[in-house]
Amino acid sequence: MTKTALIVLAACVDIRSGERFERGDTFDPVPTLEQANRLIAAGCLPEGARELAEKADEPDEQKAASEKAARDKAEKEALKLVEARSAKATADQALENAKNRVAQATTAEEKTASEKAFKSAEAAAKAASEDLAKLAK
């Protein structure tokens, strides 16, 4: 029951639940603001119902904090996913560049160095792909 009782002035129905209230009953739970405005205009509830409905429509601190924490977590996860996609694209480009250097190598030294760079780029691309796959689940 609400802390401030809403005594029904004339018979009415709670549109949310279908519960019927007679004159003198306590309207509980507090109506929505829209419903309170209608019931006040119809003479079913006192003017104080509007203020109670406005207060009831305000999110409580715990709910607001919980929703903010959930939004913050979702934003962080989205940022991690964007960063992982970017890292994968960078690693894939580095792998492609290393592959081209291997193909363009003309001397044994260049070939050895470019193959070493290719293997390193390949490992980095594989790690980036695995990281992205973990986050995308």
pLDDT greater than 60 at residue 67: yes
Question: For every residue of the chain, which 3-state class applies, written as one string?
Answer: CCCCCCECCCCEECCCCCCEECCCCECCCCCCHHHHHHHHHCCCCCCHHHHHHHHHHCCCHHHHHHHHHHHHHHHHHHHHHHHHHHHHHHHHHHHHHHHHHHHHCCCHHHHHHHHHHHHHHHHHHHHHHHHHHHHHC
Token pair recorded at residue 23: 């004159």
Q: pTM here? A: 0.53
- State residue 115's pLDDT score: 94
Q: Is the pLDDT of residue 4 over 80?
A: no
